[in-house]
Amino acid sequence: MTALIVEELGKDYRTRRGPVRALAGVSFRVEEGEVVGLLGANGAGKTTAIKILCGLLRPTSGRATVFGVSPSRPEVARRVAALLEGSRNVYWRLSVEENLRFFAGLQGVPPREARRRTGELVALFGLEDKRRTTANLLSQGMKQKLALACALVKGTPLLLLDEPTLGLDVETSHELRGFIRELARAHGKTVLLSSHDMGVVEDTCARVVILSRGRVVADDLVPNLLSLFRTQAYRVSLRDGLPERARATLAARLPTLRALEAERALEVELPPEQDVYALMDALREAGVAVDGVSRAEPDLEDVFLRIVQGER
Ligand SMILES: Nc1ncnc2c1ncn2[C@@H]1O[C@H](COP(=O)(O)OP(=O)(O)O)[C@@H](O)[C@H]1O
Ligand SMILES: [Mg+2]
């Protein structure tokens, strides 16, 4: 079954200065068992989309369904848990254990089962010696782990995680990424995760939906997005640098040429109709001595920047 369907979703916030368009017709789907990243710069519309999907906000236009029903329906709460960005996802005056039991109880999990899950999650997140510590005394990283644990204790098949690693130190961020990967692999969960951090998305998600100013500008498997750019970018290291006279000749043949590292290397992104032979011919004709040619391997950050800048 399809876990999430988002169709032409639009959201305008009413403000004193007039409407602010946060989503301008966003469509995507998430199948059961997928871990999908919602990637975008600040203000792209990620939080708005997630709030609509967990029923906290109503869209201005379009529609969303979660396991076939509208997020505004009460029964959706049994199938979706959300970890919202920056907000207090846990009760600061309750201890770690009390928080977990409380959220399990809210979900209608019977007390015995709630105790069992609480024990499991406390162990999983390494919070054993903080069981009785009130949430406000936990470090930022532990608070975030507790917040994720509180979302998990509900036992819902779908998790919406808004910026789950925001503000965490590198080590805790990597630890949380590991937990998130396990959610789908070992527990069969479906996850939609938003982040402006490409590393987080590259580490946890198989597929990514890129938002830019309220629109979807890419929606594909991460390896596909990477290979989209991999095929055309080359890096050439030069034996004797780039002679002055070669420059004009090369620039005419290869308009996308960039000189790097005090002219000891070139980077060029070939247009689709050219291949690496055309590049080598151009270099030879210009009298440039080549030391080596390699493909410039893009990462998700390159892909993101190119797609988002290309769209502007
Ligand atoms: N409550 C609100 N009132 C007015 N504008 C808002 C509100 N929340 C978000 N926005 C605006 O909507 C746009 C999308 O915001 P948001 O969904 O928070 O993006 P993201 O999570 O990707 O950073 C931004 O321009 C933001 O300023
Ligand atoms: Mg946000």
User: What pLDDT, in 10s, does the model give residues 113-158?
Assistant: 999 999 999 998 899 999 999 999 999 889 999 999 999 999 999 9
- State which amino acid sits at residue 283: L
Q: Residue 50: CB within 6 Å of ligand 1?
A: no
Assess if residue 40 is contained within a domain.
yes
State the pairing for strand pair 265-269/258-260: antiparallel
Range of the domain at 259: 231-311
Percent of the chain topping pLDDT 70: 97
Same domain for 215 and 239, yes or no, is no
Please count the structural domains in the chain. Answer: 2
| Confidence at residue 274, expressed as pLDDT on a 0 to 100 scale | 79
Question: What phi and psi, each to the nearest 5 degrees, are found at residue 108?
Answer: 85, 20
Query: How remote is the CA of residue 43 from the centroid of ligand 2, in Å?
Result: 7
Residue nearest to atom 3 of ligand 1 (CA): 13
User: Which secondary-structure segment (H or E) carries 119?
Assistant: helix 111-124
Question: What phi and psi, each to the nearest 5 degrees, are found at residue 134?
Answer: -70, 150
pLDDT at residue 215 greater than cutoff 90 = yes
Of 195, 221, 247, the residue at which a domain comes to its end is 221
Of 158, 191, 221, the residue at which a domain comes to its end is 221
Query: How remote is the CA of residue 93 from the centroid of ligand 2, in Å?
Result: 26
pLDDT at residue 239 greater than cutoff 70 = yes
Q: Residue 44: CB within 6 Å of ligand 1?
A: yes
Same domain for 207 and 238, yes or no, is no
Assess if residue 173 is contained within a domain.
yes
C-alpha 30/C-alpha 165 separation (Å) is: 21
C-alpha 74/C-alpha 72 separation (Å) is: 6
266: left (phi over 0), alpha (psi -120 to 50) or beta: beta
Please state, rounded to an integer, the average pLDDT across all residues of the chain.
90
| Tens digits of residue pLDDT in 16-61 | 999 999 999 999 999 999 999 999 999 999 999 999 999 999 999 9
The pTM is what? 0.82
Angle at 140 between CA 138 and CA 146, to 5 degrees: 65
Same domain for 150 and 7, yes or no, is yes
Of 163, 196, 221, the residue at which a domain comes to its end is 221
The three-state secondary structure class of 280 is helix
Same domain for 259 and 198, yes or no, is no
CATH of the domain at 280: 3.30.70.100
From the alpha carbon of 11, which atom of ligand 1 is closest?
12
261 vs 136, residue with greater confidence: 136
Same domain for 101 and 137, yes or no, is yes
